[in-house]
Structure 1
Amino acid sequence: MDLNTVLETRDARRREPWRPGDAWLGGGTYLFSEPQPHIRRLVDLGRTGWEPLTRLPDGSLEIAATCTIAQLSRHGRKAPDRAAPLFEQCCRAFLASFKIWNMATVGGNLCNALPAGPMISLTAALDGSCLLLAQDGTTRRLPVADFVTGAGRKDLREGELLRSVTLPAAALARRTAFRQTSLYGLGRSAALIIGTLDPRDGSFCLTVTAATTRPFRLWFPLPPGAAELEGAVRSAVADDEWFDDIHGLPAWRRHMTLRLGEEIRRELTQDGTR
């Protein structure tokens, strides 16, 4: 779609004052998908030269905001980490066209803050932290689970930029289990649930996305029983925090979350009891 209100595009490497009507341009798959009448200038991140994925000395993984879904998918298929299969599983949850696959960015998916955003699911489940850059050069960090505050809402201040997301080495070493469902075979995710089990201390975490307006991470020092897990989900997610749109009613999303969460609990704990 043409953005006929845009009057100018500038390179993000040029330091110029932020002004009303500015918008960061990454892959552009959302910006050019619908009218954006408030935008007057696009600040293009395409030439920043940020390395898509960087393994840090402590074993953690830094994912640049401009990393595309295709680049992340390729990394996941060859990475040695125990949690590596989760990368491809979340990338495939897009059900995206070739164009989207190669243009959409990890940062754009997080900043759109849509409940069904699978990069939110991936990075929240693996304890991801966002590096945010302000216009004055100051930085701050936020857990992904706190960065996304609601459907389409995020903790991003005027002119602030999501630079990268870092996944700690400990999270990459965990066992993972993935479940996703939608109303249609090629439909948007109505529930995307990820479980992780830490081999060091036996702690268990269930991350609920797509079914809810924001990510919910439920951590247990030891794997919970079925009743404990269900009770924790019901207690953590208020009635008005189950997402409601054409892709699924709140009651159905809650039901599927509980069902898939129990499947994950059994898979990771090899527990067949209820």
Structure 2
Amino acid sequence: MDLDTISSVLTPREPGSLPGWRAGDAWLAGGTWLFSEPQPHLARLIDLTALALPPSAATEAGLSLSATCTIAELDRIELPPAWIAAPLVGQSCRALLGSFKIWNRATVGGNLCLALPAGPMIALAVALDGVCTIRTGAGGERRMAVAEFVLGPQATALAPDEVLLRLDMPASALKRRAAFRRISLSPNGRSGALLIGTRDADGTRVVTVTASTRRPVRLVFPAPPSARDLADAIATRIDDALWYDDVHGAPDWRRHVTGLLAEEIRAELSEGA
């Protein structure tokens, strides 16, 4: 869609040359959402894709992704064999249903910052202890966990003049055993519930609930939970107001399928323990 209120587009080449923020500005990454509907309040776009940011880096410390890394680039990354949670990357990419055009434009950072409950990059990052690096309006940087970054549908902890630069996921999280579950109302529909479970070497289990809730929810179990423990945790930690309600699923359905998928994950992670 043409944005006919835009009067200028800036293309800074490095984070240090990002312009000062003003009313009517918008950060432009992939633009797959920005150009999907009218944005009459915008007058200037700041194109982040021109920044000299490497899409990804896999090191001994873990996996680092630039905010402008596309879904297609993420899906092509080859990760070390010791990172047994690596299949989550491809599974999460495929949870973002879209054409090859979308995959080659949509970005990891855009998925996080749009903060839709069904955002699969949110589920991946929260499940793998992802940490955001944010450039502040004053030109400095701050870091925060993705679990705290996403506050609700299209709401994040970013101030208007801040921009997400990078996402880091530690190697320790990528070495955990993991299980992935997703469901939607139709075969090619938006996620109605997307859950990821992980099991650490010390026996700690974590079930990350997304898509069915307005923001990510992490259920942590220091010891292997029973089916009743898991059901009680879901009932206690996720109150009625937190279940998401839109055309892709009613709250009572989302609550029900979340319980079913969480139990499947619990059973899978208990195998061979």
User: What is the CA distance between 1:46 and its match in structure 2?
Assistant: 1.5
Paired with 1:46 and 1:95, the residues of 2 have a C-alpha distance of: 22
Paired with 1:160 and 1:15, the residues of 2 have a C-alpha distance of: 10
User: What is the CA distance between 1:156 and its match in structure 2?
Assistant: 0.5
User: What is the CA distance between 1:135 and its match in structure 2?
Assistant: 2.1
Where 2:252 maps in the other structure, the secondary structure is: helix
User: What is the CA distance between 1:78 and its match in structure 2?
Assistant: 4.8
Equivalent residue number for residue 151 of structure 1: 153
Paired with 2:29 and 2:167, the residues of 1 have a C-alpha distance of: 15
Paired with 1:131 and 1:31, the residues of 2 have a C-alpha distance of: 22
Where 2:129 maps in the other structure, the secondary structure is: coil
User: What is the CA distance between 1:18 and its match in structure 2?
Assistant: 1.4
Paired with 2:187 and 2:56, the residues of 1 have a C-alpha distance of: 31
Paired with 2:18 and 2:167, the residues of 1 have a C-alpha distance of: 23
Give the alignment partner of residue 162 of structure 1, picking from 158, 161, 164.
164
Q: Which letter maps to 1:111?
A: C
Q: After alignment, is 243-252 or 11-20 more displaced?
A: 11-20
Equivalent residue number for residue 241 of structure 1: 242
User: What is the CA distance between 1:142 and its match in structure 2?
Assistant: 1.1
Residues 1:6 and 2:6 aligned together: yes
Paired with 2:223 and 2:168, the residues of 1 have a C-alpha distance of: 25
TM-score, normalised relative to structure 2: 0.95
Where 2:4 maps in the other structure, the secondary structure is: coil
Cα RMSD (Å) of the superposition? 1.2
Equivalent residue number for residue 197 of structure 1: 199
Give the alignment partner of residue 18 of structure 1, picking from 21, 27, 38.
21
Q: After alignment, is 77-86 or 89-98 more displaced?
A: 77-86
Q: Which letter maps to 1:228?
A: D
Equivalent residue number for residue 71 of structure 1: 73
Conserved in 1, the CA contact under 8 Å of 2:20 and 2:161? no
Q: 1:170 to 1:78 in 2, by over 3 A?
A: closer
**Runs of 4+ with >6 A deviation:** none
TM-score, normalised relative to structure 1: 0.95
User: What is the CA distance between 1:79 and its match in structure 2?
Assistant: 4.2
User: What is the CA distance between 1:15 and its match in structure 2?
Assistant: 4.0
Equivalent residue number for residue 83 of structure 1: 85
Where 2:76 maps in the other structure, the secondary structure is: helix
Equivalent residue number for residue 268 of structure 1: 269
Q: Which letter maps to 1:258?
A: G
Residues 1:217 and 2:218 aligned together: yes
Paired with 2:79 and 2:255, the residues of 1 have a C-alpha distance of: 35
% of aligned pairs identical?
A: 53
Matched residue pairs, number? 268
